[in-house]
Amino acid sequence: MRGQAHILVAIVPALAVLGALRAGGVEVDTNVFIAVPLPAAVGALAPDIDHPSALIGNALPTKFILEGLTFLISLGGLSWFMSRYLSQESLAVMFAPYATFVRWAITAIVAGVALLVLSFVASIFLEHRGPTHSITLAVVSSILVGIGCVACAASWQYGLVFGLGCASHLLADSRTPKGCPAILWPFAR
């Protein structure tokens, strides 16, 4: 399957599981409901990190890097141009609202570079639909995402949604002719 199809297959089940949890009495963060498409999409794309031409290993990281650099260069150019006409204090006041966007641009660049490197290394050492297409890695990565979210003062439920995206990817790929031969890795092949 292609990356876009994996994203579409992931979002609806993630919303359904969160709705079922909420109906069952589990308190589900409203922000998680609103943000479901992002962690579900990232989870749905994550198993293909071992394929260098996959959406998560090529197109998205390149877009993150280019968009982040474009924003920083544009803002820097505007700042340089305006510095000819305004004092440093006026510039600081004028550009203060952009601080959050600068952090997001830097984060996008770092994430893009990390994804490119990770995809390159994974494609060298792992076969496609190998360990990255296993239940073990889906569970471990979901737990790590949940822990990372808690460490950043966000809901652990983002990790659950990420895991549901990974699970939808594995389920969708298992229905293709090639299947998921390493789905039980490292316990069986």
Q: What is the pLDDT of residues 119-149, one digit of tens each?
A: 999 999 998 899 999 999 999 999 999 999 9
pLDDT for res 116:
93
Same domain, 114 and 140: no
- As a whole number, mean pLDDT of residues 144-158 equals 91
Same domain, 116 and 61: yes
């229905």: which residue's tokens? Answer: 175
Phi and psi at 56, nearest 5°, equal -75, -20
- Among 97, 126, 155, residue at a domain's last position: 126
What is the distance between the alpha carbons of residues 23 and 20, in angstroms, rounded to a whole number? 5
Task: State the DSSP code for 134.
Answer: S
Greater model confidence, 104 or 4: 104
- Among 79, 101, 126, residue at a domain's last position: 126
Supply the range of the domain harboring residue 15.
1-51+128-189
pTM: 0.80
Among candidate residues 126, 152, 153, the one with its CA nearest the CA of residue 137 = 126
The total domain count for the chain is 2
- Among 95, 126, 157, residue at a domain's last position: 126
Percentage of the chain modeled with pLDDT above 90? 61
Residue type, 40: A
pLDDT for res 189:
61
Greater model confidence, 7 or 139: 139
Measure Cα distances from 21 to 7, 13, 33, 68 in Å.
Answer: 22, 12, 12, 37
Q: Is the pLDDT of residue 29 over 90?
A: no
Q: Which helix (H) or strand (E) covers residue 174, if one does?
A: helix 157-174
Q: Which helix (H) or strand (E) covers residue 67, if one does?
A: helix 60-83
Q: Is the pLDDT of residue 45 over 90?
A: yes
Within 10 A of 158 (CB to CB), how many other CB atoms are there?
26
Average pLDDT, the chain: 91
Q: How many degrees, rounded to 5, is the angle at CA 37 between CA 118 and CA 15?
A: 125
- DSSP strands (E only) in the chain: none
What is the distance between the alpha carbons of residues 129 and 115, in angstroms, rounded to a whole number? 18
pLDDT class for 49, splitting at 50, 70, 90?
A: very high
Same domain, 75 and 38: no
pLDDT for res 58:
87
Paired tokens of 47: 């198993």
Same domain, 118 and 72: yes
